[in-house]
Amino acid sequence: MLNEASNIDALWTGIAAALDDFEFIICFVDDGSTDGTIEYLQSLAQTEPKRVHLMRRRKMMRGSQRGSALFAALQWALSNPDVHFLVEMDGDLSHRPEELQRGLGLIVSGTCDVAIASKYLPGSQVTHRPLARRAVSLICNQAVRLLLSDEISDYSNGFRFYTRGAGLAIASSQIRYGSPIYLSEVMAIWLHDHFRIAEFDSIYVGRNEGLSKLRPLDLVKAAIGVCEISWRRRTGRFGRIQLPEHNGNARSSHAGSTTYR
């Protein structure tokens, strides 16, 4: 997350209310906020030390580095053997805390290993997002579906729920992308490893972001990246690494919720 001071209180309040029935800890990953977000999170971590962990980073590259932030938070979460369920969501309220219990319910019940809040299922809605930006997102998503698998309707939504086992599969893989293409890379690994994946309809709240934030170079890099990921999935060339022993298969009823931007 980056400069989310105007949203962070509502985000924390919403998550705490939605997960009241769970024992949980939230890892907030900040990429160098300068608007008071850090100060708020530091205070929150002091008053809620068992529920809030702050991870501070500083962006060293242009463009979104949500993938590298997610991977860092995932590694931190898996270092706790009591974390069994993990959640990824944005820190700008585009993902609604009210949907947390629905996604977690699919995982906790054993219905699936991975649950995705989809923007493209019947019943889903996208609000506060210009039509042109919706069109670009839809076209890019359809292209990824053609290259990877049409079993998944939404490859770009980062509101995801998964088991510790699914998290370990990612943590033990040689991840190549720190950009948002990370989301497609992770999904390709789960598909390759035959994890059970389910989707549910969701309301995505945009931030009125227009096409001006989309750099043509980023789109070209994304296209090349997805082609490379598709090739690795078809050839099974996902390199694996040995994880520390504390990242084993311990199970519990804890939920690890990762928020990021």
pLDDT for position 21: 86
From CA 258, how far away is CA 256, in angstroms rounded?
6
| pLDDT band at 98; cut points 50, 70, 90 | very high
Buried-state track 25-43, b at ≥16 Cβ within 10 A, e below 16: bbbbbbbebeeebbebbee
| pLDDT band at 259; cut points 50, 70, 90 | very low
Do the Cβ atoms of 25 and 259 come closer than 8 Å?
no
pLDDT for position 210: 53
| pLDDT band at 252; cut points 50, 70, 90 | very low
The larger pLDDT score, comparing residue 256 to residue 85, is at 85
pLDDT in tens, 166-222: 999 999 999 999 888 999 999 999 999 999 999 999 999 988 665 545 677 778 888
Is a pLDDT exceeding 50 seen at residue 86? yes
Domain count within the chain: 1
Which tokens go with 97?
């805390």
* Average predicted confidence (pLDDT) for the chain: 88
| pLDDT band at 61; cut points 50, 70, 90 | low
Q: What is the CATH number of the domain that holds 110?
A: 3.90.550.10
Short-list 218, 199, 201, 207, CA closest to 134: 207
Range of the domain at 120: 5-260
How many other β-carbons are positioned within 10 Å of the β-carbon of residue 11? 21
Short-list 211, 187, 66, CA closest to 135: 211
| pLDDT band at 250; cut points 50, 70, 90 | very low
pLDDT for position 5: 84
